Structure formats: C-alpha cells, structure tokens
Structure 1
Amino acid sequence: MNFSELGKVIDVLSKEKGIDKGIITHAIEQAFLVTTRKKFGIQGEYETKYNAEYDDIEIFQFKNVVEDVRDNVVEIPLEEARKEDPDVEVGDQLGFKIEDPKFTRVDIQTVKQIIMQKVRDAEREILFSEFKHREGDLITGIARRYERGNIIVDLGKADAVLSRREIIPGESFNTGDRIQAYLSEVVMTNRGPEIRLSRTSPMFLVKLFELEVPEIQDGTIEIKSAAREPGQRAKIAVQSVDKDIDPVGACVGMKGSRVQNVVNELRGEKIDIVKWNDDLITFTTAALAPSEIENIGVDHEERSMDVVVEEDQLSLAIGRRGQNVRLAAMLTGYKINIISKVKLQEKVKLSVENLLQIPALNEATAQVLVQNGVMAIGDFLATDDEEVASLIGLQASDIATAKEELTAKIEEGGVELQPEGEEELVSASAVPQYKGIIEKDGASSEDGEDAKFSEAEKRLREELAAFKIK
C-alpha cells in the first residue's frame, strides 16, 4: 500500500504545530488502525506501522491457527497456515501483511479526520503543559475582545480569560490594550486548556512587588502576608533576613518610587506596608496602624482577638466602612473584635456592681472574679465552688453557702441576674475572608502526576483514553 508524501505531512505538521514527529507518526498509525478495524472487523487483531524508509504505512493482521475455522476474521485453518509457515502448529498466531486494503474515499477521509483530531489533542496537551507550570506567575498579553463580560487576552500561543470578577472595580480595557495579570489557574476543559487570569488576587499584589523590589527577588526580603480590597486598599507584611536592611523602606523605594509603580498598576489602590513580627500581638498592632492599641487579648483556639482602643482611636482602628479591621483580619488570619476602652470599663463597672449583690463578696474580690471572666450572677452560680474559692481566697464551703443564700434571693425576685443597661461591647468585628499568610513554595503541593490535574481534567483524560483504540 502506498500513501505518497506521508513523511512530508509529518514534517510540515511537526514544524507548524510544534509537535514532536513521534507523536504525529503515532497519530497516523492509530488513524489507520481505527479505519482498518472498521473495514475488516473490530474483533480482529491488527497492527499498523509507519515505515520511514519506504514512506509508507504497513498493516498487519494476526490470526489464530485452528483445525476448524469458526470466524474467518480471527482464525485460519492449519492447512492454509502451513502454506505461509511450514512449522506452524495449532494454537500459534500467524501474522499477514495486508498489501492492498482497498480503502475507499470515505475511509481515507476518516483517516484524515482522526489524524487532525489527534493533532489537536496533542496541541492542547502541549499548551496545557506549557502554561500549567507557569501558574503563580505574572503574565502579559493583549486584550482582544469581550465575551459575556469576560476579557479574552491574547498571550501569543494561546488565549486566556480575565473574568469580570477578576477585574479591579472601575477599570476597563479596550481592544489592543496591554494587560498584566496573575496566572491563577490552568484547567483542561472539553474545548482545550483554559488559562485563567486575575488582577484582584492578593498574589497579584505580591508578584508586582517581587517585580519592583530586587531585594525580594534575591530573597533578602520576604513577603509574609498580603490582603486586598481590590481598587481601594491593601496591606502587605514584609520581613528582612538581613538586620541592616529595612524591609518597609526597601519596598517603598526612593521617594516612594517602587510602591508608586505598584499603585499605578493597581489603578490607585492605597497600599500599607507593615513590618512582619512573629509575635502575633506586635504584628496585629502594626497591622491595625495608624490606630493606637491599648491591649490585645488572643484566643488561639478560636483564632480570634479582642483589641481594646481608646474612644478617639475607634474610627482609625475600624477604618472607612470597616476596611482597616477587615484587612488586618485577613493579614493575620484571625477574627478581630474592636472594643472601646470606655465601654469595656463601663462593662467592668456594671459587672462588679452586679456581683456585689452577693454578701460574701466585696469590691476587691468582685474585681478579681470579673478579671477571670465571671461577669454576672449567672456566671458565679455556674462556676465550680473550688474554682471560685481559689480565685478570691475563701473556702469552698463558704462559696456553697453563698450560692444557697443567693438562690433563695433569686427565687424571691430580689436579685438582678445580669447588669442593667449593658451596651454592646464590640464596636466592630471582622472575620478574615481568606488567610493572607503566604505559605512556602510547595508547602501544600501534592507529589505525583495526579497533582497536576483537577477532577474535571482527570475525567476528560479518561474519556480521551477510552476513545483511543490501542
């Protein structure tokens, strides 16, 4: 069988598509194998091989040697088989070269379609592999068109998608505009690899600083955490491994030149650069700047903090529409409750007055109980006798007697269980939408080939594998 210029087709496709010749050759062999099985019977066993020396496809059919033939496609009688090989025995398998398969025009068209489909699949794999390992990088392209509000960005070899929600609020792009973005994800879809970009991700901010600050590139300065409200305000926490280098000053640059370049790219987004500290309280104090902090209580188990500030510092700590405290919460990864010192003192005063309804307590012992979380009569009754006794220096029996007397008064209706006129203590509260702390590269990555692909990608690959006839 002679198919002219197969070698030339392989060379042209390899150069134009950037695909290895071996992949194209395999695609051609598979295309002829599929067509052969359709023509001669899918139950048969065939093999196709491209002969580079003769620039031709060789097709072989294998049959089992038997005494009585039941299926001519897969079996051959012993007598006929011995004409080809005198030493053959029943149970052996004999291969025959199909010299002229008599492929029709429809068969050849099927071959071409299969080859082109497999070439397209190979192109998709190449694009996927090329951009998959660039996840997490900055990437630059040209805006080509809008599709359902999303911007299609030309990256040269492929198109990427910058969705509406990943565009900084208030910014717009025209066709032909240069776009710089963070390559957040590459996924395999039914239409091929989809490259997803973001300009709202905190990592876009991080990568821009890496681009502008040489000390970050060489590892002298490390960005430990980042938080953004795109288009409005952002915070980053930086740390220097060299004590002689100020990490905040290096990121700001001479006359603010470095940070200003980042601000310009982010369309005027205000950026606070905070010095990182391993001590959570010190770091939180810096993250809530410019407000002055009086005290911070930390609950590591609940990952929350109560931050106490003076009344005149409340607005600074909370920020415009709660922006400052929200960004600080994301920067630290902890829920932050902003508490007015005046309100806290008033709450303590009311709690002490409430506890003084207990005859066994005086103002000093009531203060001690409040400091340990016993804020009202109800808390006192619910706390273990031994624990209360150890806090205020009395006997457990005295506490038990006090509780009995207190219970009798409550039944008579002469005791207020909770302080009267108590105001809401928390002035503002922020739960982090995401944890801004940046993990080391590879800290959460999985080993092995499966880590590259999402579940959707795996399913698609399984379908493609099922389509291929080996």
Structure 2
Amino acid sequence: MAITSANQLELLQTAEAVAREKMIDPDLVIQAMEDSLARAAKSRYGSEMDIRVHIDRKTGNATFTRVRTVVEDEEVENYQAQVTVAQARPYLDNPKVGDEIIDQVPPVELGRIAAQSAKQVILQKVREAERDRQYEEFKDRAGTIINGVVKREEYGNIIVDVGRGEAILRRNEKIGRESYRPNDRIRAYVKDVRRESRGPQIFLSRTDPQFMAELFKMEVPEIYDGVIEIKAVARDPGSRAKIAVISYDNSIDPVGACVGMRGSRVQAVVGELQGEKIDIIPWSEDQATFLVNALQPAEVAKVVFDEDASRIEVVVPDEQLSLAIGRRGQNVRLASQLTGLDIDILTEEEESKRRQAEFNARTKLFMDALDLDEFFAQLLVAEGFTNLEEVAYIELDELTSIDGVDEGTAAELQTRAREHLEAANRAALENARALGAEDSLIEFEGLTPQMVEALAKDDVKTLEDFATCADWELAGGWTTANGQRVKDEGILEPFDVSLEEAQTMVMTARVMLGWVDPTEMESADEAETKETDEKEAGV
C-alpha cells in the first residue's frame, strides 16, 4: 500500500478519534504516525539515512525527506546522514557547520511487516502520551482524598478506578479486615504518585494519619478555612486515634468545633474509619501541658522533661496506671507519636522509691567523701546539693545559710570537698597516663582528668583520636531502629556533656590540628545563627 493512494483525510480523522478515546492531544498521535512512517522509510532506503516524515495537519498529505547535516571534516561518522562543508557546496550557498541539506524522496510502499511495525510504533507513542497525561493529572493530587470504584482484587491489593486511571490500595493500607467487592465505592488518601516504566503508579491509603486529617478538613469548615489547624495526628488504624487541634480565633473552641453538634462531625469521620475511636485534644506550645492532654483520659500527677534525651517521665496515681498505658500500650504509644517524645510512665509509688534511692545515694556520697555523719549528709542533700563540686566551689554564704552551719563549718566542708576532688583528679590523671593518654589530650581545654580517663579507656588517647570522634559518640544520643528508639551511650555522657558542647570541643580540636579552617567555622556559625533567627522571626 502506498501512502499517496491512502485516504489522507481519513488519516487525520483516525488521529482525532484515537486522541479523543485516550484523552490526549491529537498532535501527539500525528507525531507518532510520522515516527512510524519514518521508521518504515528507513527500512526501505537504509537505516543509516536520516529520513523524516511530515504530515500536513490540514490536508493529511505526508511528505518524506532525507536530511544530511554539515559537520567538520574530521567529525564525519555517518556518510549517509553527514557531509563536509566542501561536499555541501553544490547544494547550499556558503554552507556552515550545522546547516542541513533537505531532499524530498518518494513515498514508500508499506508492506504487511512494515505496516505492523508502524502500528506498533503508533501504539507505543500513544501509550506513552497517555501515561504522561495520567501522571500530570494525578501528581498534584498526592496528599488529597480521592473517590473511586473498586475494579478487582489482586493478591489482597485493591485496584481502584479513579476516573482517568487506576490506583492501587495495598492490603497493608486497608483498615483492619476491610473487604471490597467489584463496583463498591471507596474513598482513600492519595499517598504517593510515581512515574514508573509501566506507567504512573497511584498508591492509596486508608491507614495513613493524614487520611483522618483530610476527612476532618472536609467535615469541619473551620479547618478548611484555616481558623482551626490540625497540629498532629496519631492513629492505630481501625482501633483508636488522637488528633491535636488549635484555634486561632479565641471565640471558637477547637475541640467542640471538631466534635460538632451532638457529635455529628466526628461521627461522620468515625463512620468512614470503620468505627475508629477518636480522641480530640487541644494542642499547646508547652510540651508538658500538651502531653497531659495527649494522655487523656488518664490523670497526670507530675511531668519531668529531659531535653537532652527528648524523653519525658510522667507520674500518675497508682490507680491510673493501666488507663494511662492503655490496652497493649495503645494510649501511651499514640501519645508518644502525637508529641514526638519517648514517654516513661511511673506510678507515684515507683517515683517515690526512685527519689528515695537517689537521696540515699547522695547521702552516702557526702558521708564517704566528706567524712560526715548521716544527719549532716542528709541535711546537705535536702538543701539541694547533688555533687561534691557544688559543695567545693559554691559561695560560702550558700552554705552558712543552712541552719546549724557557721562560717568555720562551711569552710571546713569546702576544704574537705576540694581535697577529695583534687585527690580524685590526681588518681584519674595517673590512670589515664598509664592507659597511654598523651599530653595533647590531657592539656586540651574543657576535658577534666576523669573525662580523659574515660576517653583513654575507650582507646581515645591523642588529640587526633579525639578530633575523629563524632559528637554523638561523646555525648550519646538516640537512633531509630525498626521503629524503636535505641540509646547510644556516649563516652562523656556520665559527665553531662551536651551534644552542642561535644560538637564545639571536636571542632576546636580539628582547628588546632589544622584540619579545619577557622574562618569556615565562623561562616558556618554565622549561617546557623542567621537560620535560627529567621525561624524565630517566622521568616
């Protein structure tokens, strides 16, 4: 079949019909036809030739041309598609590198094999255009709720018709033991849209915490309008959830607005989530207050916050322990997810026992180190003294303010404390030297003899060894493994060295060794300060 004998208008009508069916640009279909005809022409005239086809968008007339590009003499690689400047002179006036010689060639006869090949090229191009269209349509819908119709189930995964494409709801993204039949309507959260070789993949979820947040946005106009903001969400899909909200209008109660008249709003969300119980709590900038709210309905007696470890201890009445923890730890787990903190729950009795143990340990420390009787040692602990450094170097007035302690007694206490500390420092230094610690490390500012001893025990014996340490190796920290926070013990953690202090010491050591340019440190500090200031200013 020759192109010249084909119904040219029918070619355009076919392109428009395919474009309408696949909902893509008709020009893309015509381009696919041009590519397929060009491929067929190359099989006729030679694969090394640069054959191009242009189909007139109004008449459907197909024009076949051969293109040769002008290149430098030494760059000619394909003699069928490239010519030198000298070879181009008979065809072009004043030819230059990059010019093209275009010659029209006769249309080709499309045999059965060539026609099949052309059809495959067209189908492939149409599929690619359809995939691009689907991806462009759905990529901006990630993070929103979408309605669809169940088409089929494959290995527990649900294939959902979402209009101009298909989406997948994986079995681990379904709530509990949800089951669907073909043609069932389904509402889900668009978790991710990816461009893959087999086409755009749209991943849905009904267990994602943001699914519940988007449902509330649909049910509560104040959230949609921005008057109320959802600050945090934690879910145990199909069982229980907690959502923290805040109102930017003092006249609106955020919890009441989310609950609705007689619970109408929250019940609409509960119904969509298969009866999932939802605790709506007010969000607070104060972490302790927020945590107390998050642990509802349990009552909290006291909260102790550890900023370095991002952990928080919650003391509850003995009879409230099971309520605070919840069934299988559900309540405290959701509260932890909501606040982003690790939570330890203690009863008042357990906390009392721990405080008593700390009191006894400090009492024994003062009795042994300062040669005091039990009553006097307990008096120091009761006044808030926790270690020998506080006794040794505190202002004398602080000690004389204690009942029964005169200036002579206070001076004697400080003398004993300093002598004990000096003896301990000498012993630690001797032990560190015996372990191989070098003077470069011992004389480094900021390290006490006990710290040097601890470093030497961990095989950090020189300033170079110290400079290669990471800040978390010195100060300790937390890492997450398999969803669980794991404690990393730091070499200097027993000496209350913070992560920032460790980082400063390590960088100082690197500067002293010439590993780091101090001007770069200053620039980094300035950039960090600027970034912090901008965050605080709300920029």
TM-score by length of 2: 0.67
SS in 2 for 1:277: coil
Cα distance change, pair 193–75 in 1 and its aligned pair in 2 (3 A) = closer
Question: Which residue identity lines up with residue 131 of structure 2 in the other structure?
Answer: R
Q: Relative CO higher for 1 or 2, CA cutoff 8 Å, sep ≥ 6? A: 1
Q: How does 1:375-390 map to 2 (within 5 A)?
A: 385=389, 389-390=393-394
1:152 aligns with 2:159: yes
1:317 aligns with 2:339: no
SS in 2 for 1:9: helix
* Structure 1 alignment gaps of length 5 or more: 375-379, 408-429, 436-470
Tell me, in whole angstroms, the C-alpha distance in 2 between the residues paired with 1:201 and 1:285. 25
Cα distance change, pair 356–59 in 1 and its aligned pair in 2 (3 A) = same
Tell me, in whole angstroms, the C-alpha distance in 2 between the residues paired with 1:387 and 1:23. 84
Tell me, in whole angstroms, the C-alpha distance in 2 between the residues paired with 1:74 and 1:122. 29
Query: Cα offset for 1:390?
Result: 3.0
Matched residue, 2:204:
197
SS in 1 for 2:394: helix
1:352 aligns with 2:367: no
Tell me, in whole angstroms, the C-alpha distance in 2 between the residues paired with 1:264 and 1:186. 27
Question: Which residue identity lines up with residue 31 of structure 2 in the other structure?
Answer: H
Tell me, in whole angstroms, the C-alpha distance in 1 between the residues paired with 2:482 and 2:241. 14
Question: Which residue identity lines up with residue 52 of structure 1 in the other structure?
Answer: R
SS in 1 for 2:137: helix
Q: How does 1:47-446 map to 2 (within 5 A)?
A: 47-63=52-68, 73-74=80-81, 93-357=100-364, 358=367, 359-360=371-372, 361-368=376-383, 374=386, 385=389, 389-390=393-394, 393=399, 396-401=414-419
Tell me, in whole angstroms, the C-alpha distance in 2 between the residues paired with 1:175 and 1:49. 46
Tell me, in whole angstroms, the C-alpha distance in 2 between the residues paired with 1:304 and 1:166. 30
Cα distance change, pair 362–77 in 1 and its aligned pair in 2 (3 A) = closer
User: Cα deviation per residue 1:345-379 (whole Å; 9 max; x = unaligned)?
Assistant: 1122223223333133521312355xx7x5xxxxx
Query: Cα offset for 1:173?
Result: 1.9
User: Cα deviation per residue 1:391-437 (whole Å; 9 max; x = unaligned)?
Assistant: 98455532144569999xxxxxxxxxxxxxxxxxxxxxx999599xx
Question: Which residue identity lines up with residue 49 of structure 1 in the other structure?
Answer: H
RMSD of the alignment, in Å?
Answer: 3.5
Query: Cα offset for 1:70?
Result: 11
1:31 aligns with 2:46: no
Query: Cα offset for 1:216?
Result: 1.2
Cα distance change, pair 230–193 in 1 and its aligned pair in 2 (3 A) = same
Query: Cα offset for 1:79?
Result: 12
Cα distance change, pair 93–279 in 1 and its aligned pair in 2 (3 A) = closer
Tell me, in whole angstroms, the C-alpha distance in 1 between the residues paired with 2:65 and 2:273. 63
What is the number of residues matched between the two proteins?
Answer: 400
* Structure 2 alignment gaps of length 5 or more: 400-409, 426-479, 486-539
Cα distance change, pair 34–365 in 1 and its aligned pair in 2 (3 A) = farther
Cα distance change, pair 339–71 in 1 and its aligned pair in 2 (3 A) = closer
User: Cα deviation per residue 1:111-162 (whole Å; 9 max; x = unaligned)?
Assistant: 1110110001101111111111111111111222210111111223222111
Cα distance change, pair 39–301 in 1 and its aligned pair in 2 (3 A) = farther
Question: Which residue identity lines up with residue 159 of structure 2 in the other structure?
Answer: I
User: Cα deviation per residue 1:429-452 (whole Å; 9 max; x = unaligned)?
Assistant: x999599xxxxxxxxxxxxxxxxx
User: Cα deviation per residue 1:69-109 (whole Å; 9 max; x = unaligned)?
Assistant: 99873478999989x95968798753211123334321222
Question: Which residue identity lines up with residue 208 of structure 1 in the other structure?
Answer: L
Tell me, in whole angstroms, the C-alpha distance in 1 between the residues paired with 2:155 and 2:120. 32
Matched residue, 1:442:
none
Query: Cα offset for 1:183?
Result: 0.9
Using the aligned pairs only, state the percent identity.
Answer: 38
User: Cα deviation per residue 1:259-292 (whole Å; 9 max; x = unaligned)?
Assistant: 1111111111110000111111111111111222
Question: Which residue identity lines up with residue 55 of structure 2 in the other structure?
Answer: Y
TM-score by length of 1: 0.76
Question: Which residue identity lines up with residue 149 of structure 1 in the other structure?
Answer: G
Tell me, in whole angstroms, the C-alpha distance in 1 between the residues paired with 2:210 and 2:269. 13
Tell me, in whole angstroms, the C-alpha distance in 2 between the residues paired with 1:44 and 1:261. 66
Tell me, in whole angstroms, the C-alpha distance in 2 between the residues paired with 1:141 and 1:86. 60
Structure 1 window deviating more from structure 2 (39-48 vs 388-397): it is 388-397
SS in 2 for 1:292: coil
CA contact (8 A) 2:48 2:78 kept: no
CA contact (8 A) 2:19 2:26 kept: yes
